[in-house]
Amino acid sequence: MTDSTDLADLDATAQAALIASGEVSASELVDAAIARVDTVNPELNAVIHRLDDRARDRAKQPLTGPFAGVPMVVKDLDGELAGAPLHLGNKLLKEIGHVAKENSYQFDKFEQAGFVIIAKTNTPEFGLQITTEPHAYGATRNPWNPNHSTGGSSGGSAAAVASGMTAVGHAGDGGGSIRVPSSECGLVGLKPSRGRVSVGPQDGEVWNGLVARHVVTRTVRDSAAVLDAIAGPMPGDPYTAPLPLRPFLTEVGADVAPLRIGLRTAAPGGICEVDPECVAAAEAVARTLESLGHTVEIAAPDALDDGELIGAFLGVVAANTLGLVEDLARIAGRPVTEADVEPGTWALAEAGRAVSALEYMQVISTAHAWTRRMLSWWHGGFDLLLTPMLAALPPELGVLNPVDGDPAMATILQTPYAIFAAGFNVSGQPAISLPLAMSESGLPIGVQLVGAANREDLLLRVAAQLEVTMPWSSRRPPIFAG
């Protein structure tokens, strides 16, 4: 058997090839991943629910699919795994010991692809924070520097993948929650198009279509291959993305015709300053793209500076947070009080309670109108938009979700970490964060590429170009299982 520390360096595609060749068994691969969790999780608090017995039992079964026998982790949010804890970062659900009753379609597809789920990862309460510091489970620490955040809401999965526990971690993105943790932990994070991956059968849409689900990975090919495995319409989906012309994996390494790419480094609406290192990272990528034959211009959709975006986004999130609190009351069998949730959650729910039915209809209408303005830019001759992923470097823990203090201030402090991300949840476009730079202090810096509606294919082609030209595969954080 290949040593466990060697396996930590392999992406999921390479691990699957080892199993297919007979060099290792699924049980050996799963045991090695569990051992790596034992090694680094005490330092990181990325994994909160161990599923060792379930994983070992599954690894002994005949497994098929492109990732047969490959271990992965899933976050404790954005999907259900029958019989496993489902606490959503909430202390009341933790006290109750809430357990999922059925699989989500996405988790079914993970297992149909052959993945073995070994654990569930930490997440902020209800996915509402851009950092993974739930009061119920404590902070997940960044393997590049444990004093810093991993981002949220998929920060537990991102820390697990970046530290080598597994090569793939399930993730979801309602305002940057795939892309922000990928940026802060040095990973590939593709947010698919709206409707590309089903959120059923528990939901038809989440946050009125803002939420998309996928994974975080270390390689572009893993991101593409997993999307092939989990994408596609399912019964009852209210809308779906058009089927791709060919598998997404075939886009990795495919020729790319010269593209017209817009570059935007100023924060939308001028709402905050952008760290010079984040600007420099995006500008360096722009120069690389030009060297590859693409045209890069200082240009971006005017809609990014439309002040209606933030109001529409927050209106949707607030109203849906109220719905989450009501769902919590139904599960608990009693009214939920302020003591049952974090201060930021309660404040958002109260804001949602103040939204009338008419106002909510107007919020949705505003979001749709803004999306039409946004997408018109891509129809005007541009292929991609290039931006920094974050306006600031990963923050220190305790800043964005303190136990005490004004929750409104915490929301304001999160702005630099979502400002380049959230608009593309509203528009439903695919966007990817790539780990293309490192700060002087040794923290990863992600750069974002945004495609036209349903153009994951083009994003993956260009991402693969950059992976070869500006490689990140040799980088490892100080806390790494290998």
Q: Which residues are catalytically annotated?
A: 75, 153, 177
Q: Residue 455 in contact with residue 189, Cβ under 8 Å?
A: no
> What are residue 225's phi and psi, to 5 degrees?
-65, -40
Burial of 274 (0-12, 13-18, 19+ CB in 10 A): buried
Strand order in the sheet with 431-438: 47-50, 116-121, 71-75, 168-173, 212-217, 188-191, 431-438, 444-451, 384-388, 260-263, 295-298
Rounded Cα distance, 358 and 381, in Å? 37
Q: For residue 79, what are its two tokens? A: 């999907």
Rounded Cα distance, 242 and 456, in Å? 11
Strands 431-438 and 444-451 turn out to be antiparallel
> In the beta sheet, which residues pair with residue 445?
437
Q: Residue 453 in contact with residue 428, Cβ under 8 Å?
A: yes
> What are residue 387's phi and psi, to 5 degrees?
-145, 165
Q: Residue 299 in contact with residue 263, Cβ under 8 Å?
A: yes
Burial of 301 (0-12, 13-18, 19+ CB in 10 A): buried
For every residue of 65-109, which 3-state class applies, written as one string?
CCCCCCEEEEECCCCCCCCCECCCCCHHHHHHCCECCCCCHHHHH
Which of 200, 10, 160 lies closest to 75 in space, CA to CA?
160
Q: Residue 328 in contact with residue 92, Cβ under 8 Å?
A: yes
